[in-house]
Copies of this chain bind each other. A is one copy, B any other.
Amino acid sequence: MEKIRRREFLRSSGLSLLPVIIPAPLTAAIANSQDNIPPDLPMVNFVSDTLLVNPGEQLAQLQKIQQTKAIEADFYGRSGVVAALEKRCADIMGKESAKFFPSGTMANQLALKVLSGENTKIFVQETSHIFRDEADAAQSVHGKRLMPLAKGAPAFTLEDLQQAVEYQEKEEVFHSGIGAVSIECPVRRCDGKRVPFNEIKRISEWCRQKGYKLHLDGARLHLAAAFGNIPLKEYAALFDTVYISLYKYLGAMSGAILCGDKALTEKMDHLIKIHGGAIYQNWHNAALALDAIDQFEARIRKAADIASALFNRLNKRAELKISALPEGTNIFHMKLQPGIDLAKWANILRTSHNIVIPRRMGEDVVRLFVNESISLRDSSQLYDAFVNSLEQAKKA
C-alpha cells in the first residue's frame, strides 16, 4: 500500500485516533517505507518506545537467535521457548509462575476476572488502558463493573480509593462486592507518568488488610523501573498479578506475560482457550522477548543517560526546550520557539540524518520518546544533526 493510501486508510478506519496512545501506525509506516535515507546511519527515532523494525529486520533478528541456539517450538502456548520465557519472567518478577497471553488486553481482562472471582466491582485509574482502551471488555464480556478513579490524572491516592469504597458501601444497597483494584504504571495516556511508588505501597498495604486483590498493568513496567530507579521485583512484590508486554520494547511481534501465583496462572489455560486465545505457535514472540529481556534494563538506562545529556545540551539553545515530566519515564515534552515549522524540520531530520521526530504537535508540545535507538549513533553526531537541521528549517 502506498504511504498516502495507507494514511487515508488509517483515517477512514478510525485508526488515526490510536496514535494518542500507540504511535505504531506512524512507526509501521516508517519502518515499512522505502525512502532514500542515508544507508550508513542507523535510524534513531523519538516516536516509539522501541526500535522501528520492518519484517525483514525482524526476520534477521530471529535468524540471529536461531543461529546461536536452535529455537524450540511451543505447542499451543506450552513447552519449548514459550515455557522458557514464562519461567524467566516469573524469576525476574519474583513470582511463583508466569503465563503467556496472545495480547495484553486478554492478560489484563483474565487477571481481573480471576482475581475478582464472583465480585463485580474493580477500581481502576480513569486514564488507564483497562478503563479507556479495552473497548469495555470487562463490562461486556466479563460482567465486571469498572469504577474509575482520579479522572484525567495518572494516579489515584489511597484516600481516593478509600473514599470511593466507602461511598459505594454507604450509597448502594446491594453489595455486590469489591473484586480487585488495578494500577497501570507507567500510564500511557498520561505521557508515561508513574504512579508514585510510595502511594502504590500504601494502596497495596491497605488492599492486603481489606482482602482486595491488586493487579499491575505493567505493559511498560521496565520503563518505570529504569527511569524511576526502582527494581522490577519491588514493584511486583506489591501486587497479586503483574502483566508485562512483550512487544512494546522487548522485541516481540505481539504477546504478553502475566505473573502471579501458580494457583491463578493454572486457571488461565482454560480461560485463554474459551476466549479464543489458544494459539498454535508463538515461539517467534517468545524467542525475541527472551533474547531481549535480560539486557533491556541496562540498555534503556544507557539510552536515558544519552538522551539526558543530549537534551541538556540542546536546551542551551534558544529554539527549543525539552523537559522531563514529574514522575516521568521515557516521554519528554519539547516546546519550540514560535516560527519554527515542525513538519519541515522533522522532514529534514528524517531525510538528511535518519532521525525521526513527530511531525505534529500534541496540544502545544512535541512528545519525544526515548528508546534504545538513541544508542545506535554517536551523541555529538546526533547533536549536530539536530542543530544543523534546525538552522536549515529556519532558513528557507
State whether A66 touches B73 (Cβ < 8 A). Answer: no
State whether A59 touches B54 (Cβ < 8 A). Answer: no
Listed residue (A28, A83, A136) with the most chain B CB atoms within 10 angstroms of its CB: A28
Q: Which residues of B contact A75 (CB under 8 A)?
A: 15, 24-25, 28
State whether B55 touches A279 (Cβ < 8 A). Answer: no
State whether A276 touches B73 (Cβ < 8 A). Answer: no
Stretch of A101-109, A114-122, A226-234 on the interface side? A101-109
The smallest beta-carbon distance between A340 and chain B, in angstroms, is 30
Range of interface residues on chain A? 35 or more
State whether B102 touches A277 (Cβ < 8 A). Answer: yes
Contact of A275 among B34, B276, B279 (CB under 8 A): B276
State whether B59 touches A276 (Cβ < 8 A). Answer: no
Counting every copy of the chain, the complex holds: 2
A274 beta carbon closer than 8 Å to chain B: yes
Stretch of A281-289, A291-299, A349-357, A374-382 on the interface side? A281-289
State whether A79 touches B9 (Cβ < 8 A). Answer: yes
**Closest chain B residue to A246, Cβ basis:** B280
State whether B54 touches A277 (Cβ < 8 A). Answer: no
State whether A66 touches B71 (Cβ < 8 A). Answer: no
A276 to B276, CA, bound (A): 8
- Considering only residues 72-123 of chain A, those with a C-beta below 8 Å from chain B are 72-73, 75-76, 78-80, 83, 101-103, 105-107, 109-110
A270 to B13, CA, bound (A): 12
Q: Which residues of B contact A273 (CB under 8 A)?
A: 105, 134-135, 137
The smallest beta-carbon distance between A5 and chain B, in angstroms, is 10
Q: Which residues of B contact A163 (CB under 8 A)?
A: none
**Closest chain B residue to A283, Cβ basis:** B55
State whether B70 touches A55 (Cβ < 8 A). Answer: yes
A6 beta carbon closer than 8 Å to chain B: yes
A263 beta carbon closer than 8 Å to chain B: no
**Closest chain B residue to A106, Cβ basis:** B276
Q: Which residues of B contact A106 (CB under 8 A)?
A: 275-277
Q: Which residues of B contact A137 (CB under 8 A)?
A: 273-276
Listed residue (A63, A141, A275) with the most chain B CB atoms within 10 angstroms of its CB: A275
A153 beta carbon closer than 8 Å to chain B: no
Contact of A102 among B28, B136, B279 (CB under 8 A): B279
State whether A254 touches B282 (Cβ < 8 A). Answer: yes
A164 beta carbon closer than 8 Å to chain B: no
1/0 contact string of A133-144 vs chain B (CB within 8 Å): 011110011000
State whether B28 touches A55 (Cβ < 8 A). Answer: no
A253 beta carbon closer than 8 Å to chain B: yes
A326 beta carbon closer than 8 Å to chain B: no
1/0 contact string of A169-204 vs chain B (CB within 8 Å): 000000000000000000000000000000000000
- Considering only residues 1-23 of chain A, those with a C-beta below 8 Å from chain B are 1, 6, 9-10, 13, 15
Known: A56-B70, A71-B56. A276 touches B102 (CB 8 A): yes
A345 beta carbon closer than 8 Å to chain B: no
A37 beta carbon closer than 8 Å to chain B: no
Listed residue (A63, A73, A283) with the most chain B CB atoms within 10 angstroms of its CB: A73
A32 beta carbon closer than 8 Å to chain B: yes
State whether B281 touches A253 (Cβ < 8 A). Answer: yes
Binding site for B on A (CB under 8 A): 1, 6, 9-10, 13, 15, 24-25, 28, 31-32, 34, 54-56, 59, 62-63, 66, 70-73, 75-76, 78-80, 83, 101-103, 105-107, 109-110, 134-137, 140-141, 247, 253-254, 270, 273-284, 287
- Interface pairs (9), CB distance under 8 Å: A1-B80, A28-B75, A32-B72, A55-B284, A56-B66, A56-B71, A137-B274, A247-B281, A275-B275
